[in-house]
Amino acid sequence: MKELEILAADLSADISSYSGGIDASPQRLALVESRRAALKTLTREFGDVDDLLTWVTENRPRVAELEGGDEILEQLREELAQVKADLTKTGGEVTKARTKAAAAFSAEVTGELESLAMAGATVQFKLSPATPGPHGADLVELGLISRPDSPWIPMAKGASGGELSRIMLAVEVVLAAADPTETFVFDEVDAGVGGAAAVEVGKRLARLARSAQVIVVTHLPQVAAFADRHLVIARSDGQEVHSSAVTQVQQGDRVAELSRMLAGLADSQAGSQLAEELLALAQTERQGAPTSRQKSKA
């Protein structure tokens, strides 16, 4: 019995010593419970403890970056300032090159217009500052000065349908070698044009047709004469039905058709003579020097 009392006393002393070393602070207990809950949440998302430790190791550099946020923010500000400076410089260079090209292009197109019954008209670009983007820092508008004493007006507001067609023709003639297009369609390109100006329209259409397919709706024989294929649209009016037919004029019949367009009579001697002269002129134009695009195909 005495030995049992001694053993019990020793155990009591050990228990008292152990319990005395335990932190019974409620705050400490709450912290431990919170960390256990957090660990449980993380292991549920990332896997077991080993996976969690791997993720921590891989992302420690990122955490270090976030902790140095002020330094990184300052570095990013410096980089942004440099990018803005580069953007401004490059945008200025684009604007300078664009201004030079616009002046040269406008001069060439204006020169073409002089032969298309638009003498005195000037095509001019207007460059305005804009928010920098993939195409530079300019808002580019194409406008028309119809007479030397007229103001600059945006093309869509300052030109009639016929003028727009002729301006488009002049633009495409200038761009034909640099920016080839497969097909062009012109309607009323000869509106308000006649005589020698109509011949010039026909010549330019023929030049454009050396490197592209050109479809033209015209009432002028001076223009039709330059076509490789001449189609006639004939309307038939019945009592109940109206119809239109398109037929190709055969090469041997072109003189008669052009004479009809010129004089109103297919068998007019004067009309036939002038039609033959137009066809001869057109043939000479078609035999002119090939464009750069044709040379590349040869």
Q: What is the pLDDT of residues 45-86, one digit of tens each?
A: 878 878 888 888 888 888 777 777 778 888 889 999 999 999
122 within some domain: no
Q: How far is CA 270 from CA 14, 26, 176, 250, 277, in A?
A: 138, 120, 36, 21, 11
274 within some domain: yes
Which pLDDT value is given to residue 108?
A: 92
pLDDT at 293 over 50: no
137 within some domain: no
28 within some domain: no
Q: What is the pLDDT of residues 221-276, one digit of tens each?
A: 999 999 999 999 888 877 777 888 999 999 889 999 999 998 787 778 888 999 99
The answer to whether 208 and 172 are in contact (CB under 8 A) is yes
**pTM to 2 decimals?**
0.59
- Split into its structural domains, the chain has a count of 1
203 within some domain: yes
- Return the percentage of the chain with pLDDT > 90, whole number: 34
Largest Cα–Cα separation, the chain: 156
143 within some domain: no
The answer to whether 169 and 205 are in contact (CB under 8 A) is yes
- What is the extent of the structural domain holding 189? 160-288
Question: Mean per-residue pLDDT for 134-161?
Answer: 88
The answer to whether 112 and 205 are in contact (CB under 8 A) is no
Instruction: Please report, for the domain that includes residue 185, its CATH number.
Output: 3.40.50.300
The whole-angstrom separation of Cα 200 and Cα 189 is 12
Which pLDDT value is given to residue 88?
A: 93
31 within some domain: no
209 within some domain: yes
The answer to whether 206 and 198 are in contact (CB under 8 A) is no
